[in-house]
A and B are shown apart, each in its own frame.
Chain A
Amino acid sequence: MHDRPDSSPKTLRAAIIGTGNIGTDLLLKLIASPMLECTLFAGRRADSPGMSLAAQRGVTVSDRGLDAVIEAAADVDVVFDATSATQAAHHWSVLKPLGMSFIDLTPANMGSLCVPALNLEECLDEQYVGMVSCGGQAAVPIAHCISRTAGGLDYLEIVSASSSASVGPASRANIDEYVGTTERATYKFCDVAQTKTVLIINPAEPGIVMRNSIAVTASTEVDMAALRTSVALMESEISAYVPGYRVVVPPVRTDDRIMVTVEVEGRGDWLPRHAGNLDIITCAAVAVAEARANRNP
């Protein structure tokens, strides 16, 4: 889908730091992108499966992590961080003074939060952009639709379930940051008095498709027809950058509760297609970088 004539050079050079599930899936998205070029894939384990894949694909790799990024600074327009929240905080503190653009795929939450379907434009000039969390990218846009249609909500909860195999060690070490940052994004993009984020890691085999349920209580009447239209529009907007994004339970109401469920199937680039939790955040990060590349030809 991203075929490009070899004559048109990729315009934005990117380094990825972190060679786990997220970093490797992102690498494959960059390779497929007509505008982005991965000039460095850096991590700490030379023998990681992601590292071998990158080397096979002819991408420059390094097991010296941040140091490699600093040395390659002249050849890098943007750094994608796919490590852990703690490491990302350190990386940003070093790269910020160097003036490097930083797109954070960890839930470290150190500046502007971006959900492309909601605020892509306002993030294009930010040196730091946080991509919230996989659950946040999948659910917050729908939460925004409900909040806007209802004119404010008393309570909103997001329950995201992903397959065990797709949730790597860094994500498991960052569950608190995941919850905190997703809730912060919910408050940013929705008018809601109280919010709760729940994360479920499901060990069933074969792996479950990433699933996100958004449930709210609203004291006022909500125009359900308008809400269904709004959610359908949002679905098509997001599926433009994450093709496997789909609403599986359109807005339904019982008593004072409204619920929507979305599933995210990935492209199966790195992990099998059920691991849409990778694609939903890597595609969002690519959308930010591509928008920048487009703007600065």
Chain B
Amino acid sequence: MTVAPRHNLTICDTTLRDGNHAVAHQLGRADIQVYARAAELAGVDVVEVGHGNGIGASSIQVGRAALSDLEMLRTAKAELRESKLGVLSMPGFASIERDLKPALDCGVDEVRVGAHCTEADVTRQQITVLRNMGVTAKGLLLMTHMVSPEKLLEQARQMQDYGACALILMDSAGAYRPAEVEVKVGLLVANLDIEVGFHAHNNLGLSVANALTAHKVGATIVDVTARGFGAGAGNAPLELVAANLHQEGVDTRLRLYGALDAADVAARQFVLHVPGNDSVTIASGIAGVFSGFAGPVRRAADQFRVDPRDILLELGRRGVVAGQEDTIVEVAMSLADRWNKTHRTEPEAEGLMTAERARPPAWTM
């Protein structure tokens, strides 16, 4: 059943999907047109397009996109020849009749059906339908730093059983270090009959290293974005992954100059701020908290005069997941409360109250 890929490594470029998070899903027609053309010339295997949360996700809840799914997909498809057009579909946001079938009519070549790392069974319906239609369906697990390698293997096997032809682990929080990549990706490669992929984020500055490590231990798909364009600290930059693969002599369809050009094109066209690391995105990576929490955490830290890093570490300890943004305010309030109590019983510390942003000691993990 497994068809050997023509090249050793498939590059999935999610600039026009994950990158949409960085601009509140406001990528426009010209952005998509220009970048899809550049990605085609760069020789990426798959160009993933859409709302940051995938097809069907444009909503008041997670942000309304500038363009409809179909406008985005048709625009990209018109620019692609050799590169495939991909979408992300998360059951609950996307439904088959409302979103998936119309998307396929726009010429989508492959669908990655995604779910939180413990909820693989919600993907059964979509993967089954896609397989029955003869569409390439890949399984994708989110926030995979949260559970053990064995749990990931169990969930991955379910997706394989439904008919997924590949399984991608997402490091949605940018929390992995290379050793964890080796263990988790390695276990899946050793035990699954399908391809394994890795989607890195850069909160700890390791996105490129993690992508390369994943490949080294047997992953045959890695995700990238131009200039690391994405939420928070961003993704594994296409141009840096391309450069390293070039140096290591890894066989891909990528053309080095094409990849460098594509990143430059993105920078000119829509990457208003190149994602970088600051104390909040780094703490977010250490805590293993969903990258999308950064904005609300900064606001709550200001409001309650607490250290945003403390909020993130506490959220990480509680194991919160995307969709629990309401917990941020609760944590900020309790940290402020705890701080006040501590300092009422230690009069000698009271002078600190007037100091700028006096805070309880952080980083006591």
Query: Measuring CB to CB, which residues of chain A are less than 8 angstroms from any residue of chain B?
Result: 157, 159, 161, 164, 169, 172-176, 179-180, 183, 196, 198-205, 208, 213, 215, 217, 257, 259
**Nearest CB on B from A179, distance (A):** 4
Chain B positions within 8 Å of A202 at CB level: 321, 323-324
Which of B78-86, B118-126, B164-172, B227-235 is the contact stretch? B118-126
A196 to B59, Cβ gap below 8 A?
Answer: yes
B323 and A169 contacting across the interface, CB-CB below 8 Å: no
Q: Given contacts A172-B121, A173-B125, A175-B125, is CB(A201)–CB(B59) below 8 Å?
A: no
Report the stretch among B90-98, B103-111, B196-204 that lies at the interface.
B90-98
CA distance A268 to B168 in the complex (A): 38
Known: A176-B97, A176-B125, A198-B92. A204 touches B119 (CB 8 A): no
CA distance A217 to B64 in the complex (A): 12
Complex CA distance for A213 and B60, rounded to whole angstroms: 10
**Contact present for B121 and A169 (CB under 8 Å):** yes
Residue from A176, A202, A215 whose CB has the most chain B CB atoms within 10 Å: A176
Q: In the complex, what distance in Å separates the CA atom of A161 from the CA atom of B91?
A: 13
Across the interface, which residues of B come within 8 angstroms of A176, CB to CB?
Answer: 91, 95-97, 125-126
- Please report the C-alpha to C-alpha distance between residue A54 and residue B235 in the assembled complex, in whole angstroms: 52
Say whether B70 faces chain A, with CB atoms less than 8 Å apart: no
Q: Roughly how many angstroms separate A196 CA and B93 CA in the complex, as a whole number?
A: 9
A203 touches B119 (CB 8 A): yes
Q: Once the chains are docked, how many angstroms separate the CA of A293 from the CA of B255?
A: 73
B116 at the interface (CB under 8 A from A): yes
Would you mind naming 18 contact pairs between A and B with Cβ atoms under 8 Å apart?
A157-B60, A159-B61, A172-B119, A172-B124, A173-B124, A173-B125, A174-B125, A175-B91, A175-B125, A176-B95, A176-B126, A198-B92, A201-B116, A203-B116, A204-B324, A208-B324, A213-B61, A259-B60
Residues of A within 8 A of B124 (CB): 172-173
> Total A-B residue pairs with C-beta atoms closer than 8 Å?
69
In angstroms, how far is the closest chain B Cβ from the Cβ of A222? 16
Residues of B61-78 contacting chain A, CB below 8 A: 61
* Docked-complex contact A159 and B96, CB < 8 angstroms: no
Q: Evaluate contact between B97 and A257: CB separation under 8 angstroms.
A: no
Q: Which of B57, B61, B121, B126 has the most CB of A within 10 A?
A: B61
| B319 at interface by CB-CB < 8 Å | yes
Pairwise interchain contact B119-A201, C-beta atoms closer than 8 A: yes
Min Cβ gap A80→B in Å is 24
Interface string of B301-320 (1 = CB under 8 A from A): 00000000000000000111
A-side contacts of B122, CB under 8 Å? 172, 175, 201
Residues of B within 8 A of A161 (CB): 323
**Bound-complex Cα distance A10 to B14 (A):** 61
Measured between alpha carbons, how far is A198 from B116 in the docked complex, in Å?
15
- Once the chains bind, are B61 and A215 in contact (CB under 8 Å)? yes
Chain A residues within 8 Å of B96, by CB: 176
The residues in B between 113 and 143 inclusive whose CB is less than 8 angstroms from any CB of A are 116, 118-119, 121-122, 124-126
A215 contact set on B, CB distance < 8 A: 60-61
